[in-house]
Chains A and B, each alone.
Chain A
C-alpha cells in the first residue's frame, strides 16, 4: 500500500538527478546552519534558517504573510515553483517549514526523504557555493488556520472522545523527568509533564533509525492506530517548540492521509510555562 500523498516525497537519488532550475528550487532548512549548510549543502540549494527566517524576530510567532512573501522572493520562489525541502536534525525543521508553506497555501511542495542524514550516509557530494537567486513576486494565500492549533484549541479538546493529542517528545519529557535536554538550555519550561490525556508517540517511531526515512505505511498505521490515533478524530500534535510535532503532523496528514491534523507550535514551551494550565505526569 502506498502513502496517501506520495507526491510530497522525493528520495535522495531523485534529487541528485534533478537539479534545481527556474521552476524547481531546492531549499535546505537548518536549525544550525553554521554546522550544516555553511559547512556544505546540496548543489543549488538555498538556505532557510529556521530561527532567523521562519520566526518573527520580536514576538514568539511564525512569520506573517508579508514576511513569508519576502522570504519566497529572496529564495527565487513563485507560487508555481516546485519546492523541495530537506535539512538537518532528521528533517524536523524542514517539516516545520513545510507546515508554514502549507499554512500560506504553497501547493507544489516536497520533502527529500531522510534529509541531510541520508544524503551523508550515501556519501553524496556537498558544495559550499551559494546559488544566486533572482527575486520574485510572491502572492501568498491567507493563512490556513485549519492546520494550526492554538492554546485555546488544545484546552477545548481535553477530555473529548472525538479528539486526540499526540505528544511526540521523548518518554523522559512526557513523564516530566526532564523539560529539555541539556543541549537546549533555552527551551525549558517551568513545569514538566504532558497535556492531560495526550498519547506519547515519539516522532522517531515514524522513521527508520538507520537512515531517517519514513517507515512504510502499514507500520505507520500500526504505530498510531494502536494508540487510538485514528483518522476519524481531530488530531493535535505537539512537542517542545513545534518542530518535531510538524514532522509527525506531516506523517499523519500526508503519508497516512488523516483529514484533520493540526500542529500546536506553541507546544510545551507555551503549555508548561502558562500559569494554571493542567499538567499530567
Chain B
C-alpha cells in the first residue's frame, strides 16, 4: 500500500510502522518550524499475515483522512 501524497519523497529508512505493525519505507517531512517528522511512504503487508480485505481497511482509512483534510481546506459548496 502506498501513500501517493508522499510521492517523490526520499526513502530514508525501512522499518516497522508501529501504528500498523507493518514494515514500511519511511521519509522525513519538515514542518513550518523546520522540525523533521518521520512519515511512512509505502507499507509492505505480507500475504502470509494479511488478506486484501484487511489492507483495504487501512487504504480506506487513509483515503478518509485525506478527504477530511480536503474538506477542511477546500470545502465543497453544496448550496
Contact = CB atoms under 8 A, between A and B. Distances in A.
Interface of A: 30-35, 49-52, 181-186
Given A31-B30, A32-B30, A183 B35 contact: no
Contact of B9 (A32, A50, A183): A183
B8 A32 contact: no
Most chain B CB inside 10 Å of its own CB: which residue of A31, A33, A34, A182: A182
Prevailing SS type, chain B contact patch:
loop
B19 interface: no
Q: Chain A interface mostly helix, strand, loop or mixed?
A: loop
A182 B35 contact: no
Contacts of B8: 181-182
B56 interface: no
Contacts of B31: 186
Contact of A35 (B7, B27, B36): B36
A34 B34 CA distance: 9
Given A181-B8, A183-B30, 20 more contacts: A31-B30, A32-B30, A32-B34, A32-B35, A32-B36, A34-B36, A35-B35, A35-B36, A50-B34, A51-B33, A51-B34, A182-B6, A182-B7, A182-B8, A182-B27, A183-B9, A183-B10, A183-B28, A184-B30, A186-B31
A35 B6 CA distance: 21
A32 B6 CA distance: 20
- Per CB-CB distance, the 6 closest pairs between chain A and chain B, nearest first, are A182-B9, A31-B34, A182-B8, A51-B34, A32-B36, A34-B35
Interface in B12-68: 27-36
Contacts of A33: 34-35
Contacts of A185: 29
23 contacts: A30-B34, A31-B30, A31-B34, A32-B34, A32-B35, A34-B35, A35-B35, A35-B36, A51-B32, A51-B33, A52-B33, A181-B10, A182-B7, A182-B8, A182-B9, A182-B10, A182-B27, A182-B29, A183-B27, A184-B30, A185-B29, A186-B30, A186-B31
Contacts of A31: 30, 34
A62 B27 CA distance: 30
B57 to A, nearest CB: 27
